[in-house]
């Protein structure tokens, strides 16, 4: 029989450390949760929600799956969104993708991966929708970066399109949907600047976010295209828009 002794010991020390700083921390938290944020992210072990935004237990409601997909028939994800919006009344929902996402990479590979390909089909649909835009990058890692970004934007739109978010906005509930992407190699979140706070804003925010990727495409045709990182490219895009 194998026991996870080390992890249980780590847990004990962690709880002790927090209780030392705030003796009432767990007792207060056990009474209720009132997070302002719902994080929808990838299951990837390198993208831990709370740590990335330096938040304590109780501050972030979290849903994670392979490649941070929001599929309207996924009762798990829909239930999380419903509870977060209708009961917890979170003020922000962020869809958080990450560069170098294995699920996104697998979605555009030709060899089969078994059952998961049914799930990854959703990303392949994003790829098909933006095939022209993505074609300039050929099969470089930059194409993967852009597909990871486009996937976030599409999933953020999917959040906006849920009956739950539509209803909340119809009731004038304060709620904004955001699109972020995290860099595994520098620990920084890149804000894709999709921020929709009501139903009317969604199309404009979508078009604006896509137009920024179109600028990235123009930059990719420039002379130093091979050396450009996602961060340096986005810095250039922001300087154009600001």
Q: So which residues are the catalytic ones?
A: 42, 44, 46, 98, 101
DSSP state of 175: -
For Co ion, give the closer residue by CB, 49 or 196: 49
Whole-angstrom Cα distance, residue 142 to residue 170? 39
Min separation Cβ 47 and Co ion, Å? 7
**Binding positions for Co ion, 34-73, rule CB under 5 A:** 42, 44
For Co ion, give the closer residue by CB, 42 or 95: 42
For Co ion, give the closer residue by CB, 82 or 143: 143
Whole-angstrom Cα distance, residue 93 to residue 177? 5
**Binding positions for Co ion, 117-156, rule CB under 5 A:** none
Full strand arrangement of the beta sheet holding 176-182 = 60-65, 37-42, 92-98, 176-182, 189-196
Whole-angstrom Cα distance, residue 128 to residue 144? 13
**Binding positions for Co ion, 89-108, rule CB under 5 A:** 101
Whole-angstrom Cα distance, residue 214 to residue 129? 14
Total of chain residues touching Co ion, rule CB under 5 A: 3
Min separation Cβ 200 and Co ion, Å? 32
Residues at the contact surface with Co ion, assessed by CB under 5 A: 42, 44, 101
């Amino acid at each position: 029989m194998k026991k996870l002794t080390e992890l249980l010991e780590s847990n004990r020390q962690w709880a002790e450390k927090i209780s030392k700083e705030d003796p009432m921390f767990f007792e207060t938290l056990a009474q209720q949760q009132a997070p302002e944020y719902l994080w929808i992210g990838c299951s990837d072990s390198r993208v831990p929600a709370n740590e990335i935004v330096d938040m304590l237990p109780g501050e972030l409601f979290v849903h994670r799956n392979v490649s941070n997909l929001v599929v309207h028939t996924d009762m798990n994800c829909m239930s999380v969104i419903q509870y977060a919006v209708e009961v917890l009344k979170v003020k922000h929902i962020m869809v958080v993708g990450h560069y170098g996402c294995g699920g996104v990479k697998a979605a555009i590979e030709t060899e089969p991966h078994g059952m998961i390909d049914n799930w990854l089909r959703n990303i392949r649909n994003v790829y098909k929708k933006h095939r022209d835009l993505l074609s300039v990058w050929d099969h470089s890692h930059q194409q993967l970066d852009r597909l990871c970004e486009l996937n976030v934007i599409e999933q953020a739109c999917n959040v906006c399109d849920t009956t739950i978010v539509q209803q909340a906005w119809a009731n004038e509930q304060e709620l904004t949907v955001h699109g972020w992407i995290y860099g595994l190699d520098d620990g920084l979140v890149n804000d894709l600047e999709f921020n929709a706070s009501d139903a009317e804003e969604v199309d404009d925010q979508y078009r604006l976010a896509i137009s920024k990727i179109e600028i990235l495409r123009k930059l990719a045709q420039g002379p130093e295209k091979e050396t450009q990182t996602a961060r340096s490219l986005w810095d250039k895009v922001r300087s154009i828009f600001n």
